[in-house]
Amino acid sequence: MTKIAFITGITGQDGSYLAELLLKKNYQVHGLIRRASSINLMRIEYLLTNPKYKNKIFLHYGDLADASRITELIEQIKPTEIYNLASQSDVKISFEMPLYTADVTGLGPLRILEAIKRIDKKIKFYQASSSEMFGKVSETPQNELTSFHPRSPYGVAKLYAYWITRIYRESYGIFACNGICFNHESERRGENFVTRKITRAAARIKLGLEKELVLGNLEARRDWGYAPEFVEAMYLMMQAPRPDDFVIATGETHSVKEFVTEAFKELGLDWKKYVKIGKQYLRPAEVDLLCGDISKAKKELHWQSKIKFKDLVKIMVRHDLELVKKEIGKK
């Protein structure tokens, strides 16, 4: 029997990589997209236009804030697996739009779980949890038993989604997993995220299109991995014999300054000549250090990251350099 996956956030970085992975595994893939005057399908256009995937990938309009539409789609699609990757995922914006963040990022997963409970408890559910839930960390590295202390409305919303996923698993016997994903980047990362902001600005500075890059806290340390590897972990969680929660990370931590240094060095530039600090990019409450312990994922999922930090930066910088060159060529 063909497995059917329903992916919220299919047009995002993770959603596009996951859709590609599942299509290669012969899934039928359905994706949720929000209705807007301008819909960005750039990350999945290559899947939609590939003849090999004709009648294999389908898009549906909807919103995690609309419970009736979510229920309607699940009844219509009859998925075997649901991957909830959609959210308001910008930490800084969550301070500016806390109510919206709580509604979509926090309550959105609850609406899906309620639909599963009413329609078919055999549907498997994956919740994209976040290392931002750890926030002001009590220990390093962080594992599945580390206490949570979120430092943003986004972190709080993700924490609610994490616990409601566990509660529905324990209360109703739903196969529901939390992937506590640490920062993961790629060429498809949104340009509002700091890593992509760095690599794109470095490429534009190299080609003479910009003169400076303004950033916030350069000392914040993160555990940065490669997104295509992280979606493999998501898939493996859903194939496990029992549902559980897993930290997905690299086990290494690097500062924003290190990311900047490597990105500019790849292009033969001295970052100190171009990077400035802007108070507007500082968070009201900062998360200083995140580093994941993937012992459980290694043991039970046989998963671990392979792409190292410096290679990740190179992949992103080289991609953005070529992208900017193409943009120049079109003008």
Q: Which positions are catalytic? A: 130, 132, 154
Of the candidates 215, 109, 100, which has an alpha carbon nearest to the alpha carbon of residue 153? 100
3-class DSSP assignment, residue 173 = coil
Number of continuous H segments (helices) and E segments (strands) in the chain: 12, 13
Query: Strand ranges (DSSP E) for 122-220?
Result: 124-130, 176-181, 184-185, 213-215
Number of neighbours of residue 322 by Cβ within 10 angstroms: 12
Q: Is 92 exposed, middle or buried (0-12, 13-18, 19+ CB in 10 A)?
A: middle
The letter for the amino acid at 6 is F
Of the candidates 95, 155, 88, which has an alpha carbon nearest to the alpha carbon of residue 280? 95
Number of neighbours of residue 236 by Cβ within 10 angstroms: 18
Query: Would you give the distance in Å from CA 237 to the centre of its chain?
Result: 16
